[in-house]
Amino acid sequence: MEISVLKWLSDTKNILEIEGESHLAYLHGQKIHLLPHLHNNSTRYKGAFLRTIAFIKLLIFSVRFKKTSFIDKVSFLFFSGTDNQRNALRSTLLELKNQNFPVLAITTQILSKLHDNDEGYEKIYLSPLDVFKTLLIFFLRFPHLYGALKKEHPDLAVNNYFHMFLEPYIFIPYFIKLLTRVNPEVVVVSNDHNVVNRCLIAVSHYLGIRTAYMQHASVSDIFPALRFNYAFLDGMKSFECYLDCENNSKFKSVSYPIPVVFLSGQKKDISPCAIEKTYIGYAVNLLDSLEDIVCLLRALVNSGLKIRLRWHPGLKSNDIRFLKKSLRGISAVTFSDPSLERVDDFINQCYVLVAGNSSIHLEGAILGVRCVYYELNSSRLYDYYGYVSEGIAEYAKNIEELVSICNEDNNGYKHSEARVKAIKRYSASYATKWQGREGKLVANTLQKLRSDIGVGDLYCVIDVDSSTFNIVNIPI
């Protein structure tokens, strides 16, 4: 049932007063000075005025005269904004659907071809009324927003990313409408710092709907403070990072819950496969220079190595074409398209996995592959996730060391006891009965939490010095 104009407008205003635009656009509004890749935006339209024109143009062209088929009442609402988020949610979502729970899965993206849409995702479409709501909020809030951003934020944030601070005007009223209609018992996401995810969580908190966060990749201490009813973290390393992230919250609202944290292991559906490992795997990071990647791969090929290159799902199509064109004719280099090949299928073909700051190191370690951390150029973000310091990955400081490691006899490579211990810090399910079944574990937990049933048969309480969280772990 559609809520009145005054009600949704009042609710939107209240939510923006609890958590404003610069907190909803968290990375651009709070941490842009720590993220070098955001400093290299090559957009043609810079400045608040041109970014606003581009935003409004895109908004108007996104209108679809299409009725959604959302059901009226669901137990769980899942949202995915990227393929990586979707992969972390997939096994839990399918488990709940297989047990006949009413589940709604929504996305803002066109889904990749990697899976049939067996999760049942429906794409969000904006109606003419949704666009009208967005424009109304924009005209009401623009003067204050522009003045506040110019006063409190660097020119980079305003000139290059002003449109990011406008996105809450789309998603807050949209999610008010959606959640009021389907009234889920629990809203589940796997990202806590992108604008659309933060808007969904803010609306859920405001409406009194319980929220659950399923970590989809390794985290760092620049992430926002945890503000969910339930947080399914991969392991103790993530929990320690989120303890540090409490310093990133400048305020606390009475509407925010105190999270119950579950250390439930990494959630992506990855499995080992007994096939011949013939490649050095190289995973492209969004921060990497494309020219440097090409030079590195040519050097590795000249050392007699066969390379399988996998780009990040967020890499732009122009950049993918550049890599393919630059490496054309080099038969020792093949490509792994993340929209067509699962990450575990890629890793299982490799006897050494090379990457910079990427969560793929953890996935490689879980699958028993030797992982090497290699930076193409010096970075302020060295060992961003702690994989080298914790013992997940080895560090090659130059091309000679990297080639030497890759040319060693890696057949029969086995983890040391120290590395097994390190992997368990990042993924609590590793080497337990729940390894490979993390999605079922989270689904079982959500079922019990939804019905206010204890989860003592699945977890054990950890004694940590924290007044901020309640934390439990998988029994060994």
SS3 156: helix
Look at residue 313 in the predicted model and tell me its pLDDT: 86
User: pTM of the entire structure?
Assistant: 0.91
Per the CB < 8 A criterion, the answer to whether 366 and 270 are in contact is: yes
Distance CA 32, CA 26 (A): 9
- CA–CA–CA angle 225, 381, 158 (5° rounding): 65
Look at residue 339 in the predicted model and tell me its pLDDT: 87
Among residues 109, 165, 167, the alpha carbon closest in space to that of 134 is found at 167
Per the CB < 8 A criterion, the answer to whether 359 and 353 are in contact is: no
SS3 172: helix
Among residues 434, 366, 427, the alpha carbon closest in space to that of 237 is found at 427
Look at residue 275 in the predicted model and tell me its pLDDT: 85
Look at residue 472 in the predicted model and tell me its pLDDT: 84
Please give the single-letter amino acid code of residue 200.
Answer: L
SS3 104: strand
Would you state the structure tokens that stand for residue 273, as one six-digit string? Answer: 């496969």
SS3 387: helix
Distance CA 247, CA 471 (A): 19
Structural domains of the chain, ranges and CATH numbers in brackets: 5-263 (3.40.50), 279-426 (3.40.50.2000)
Look at residue 414 in the predicted model and tell me its pLDDT: 85
Look at residue 63 in the predicted model and tell me its pLDDT: 86
Q: How many CB atoms lie within 10 A of CB 412?
A: 6
Tens of pLDDT along the chain (476 residues)?
Answer: 455 668 999 999 999 999 899 999 999 989 888 877 777 666 777 888 999 999 999 898 888 877 666 667 899 999 999 888 999 999 999 999 999 999 999 999 766 666 667 888 998 889 999 999 999 999 999 999 999 998 888 788 888 899 999 999 999 999 999 999 999 999 999 999 999 999 999 999 999 999 999 999 889 899 999 999 999 999 999 999 999 998 887 656 556 788 899 999 999 889 888 888 999 999 998 878 899 999 999 999 999 999 999 999 888 899 999 999 999 999 999 999 998 999 999 999 999 999 999 999 999 999 999 999 999 877 667 898 999 999 999 999 999 999 999 998 777 688 899 999 999 999 999 999 999 999 999 999 999 999 888 888 888 887 766 666 788 888 76
Distance CA 208, CA 211 (A): 9
Look at residue 1 in the predicted model and tell me its pLDDT: 44
Look at residue 314 in the predicted model and tell me its pLDDT: 83
Distance CA 189, CA 279 (A): 34
Q: For 84, which DSSP code?
A: H
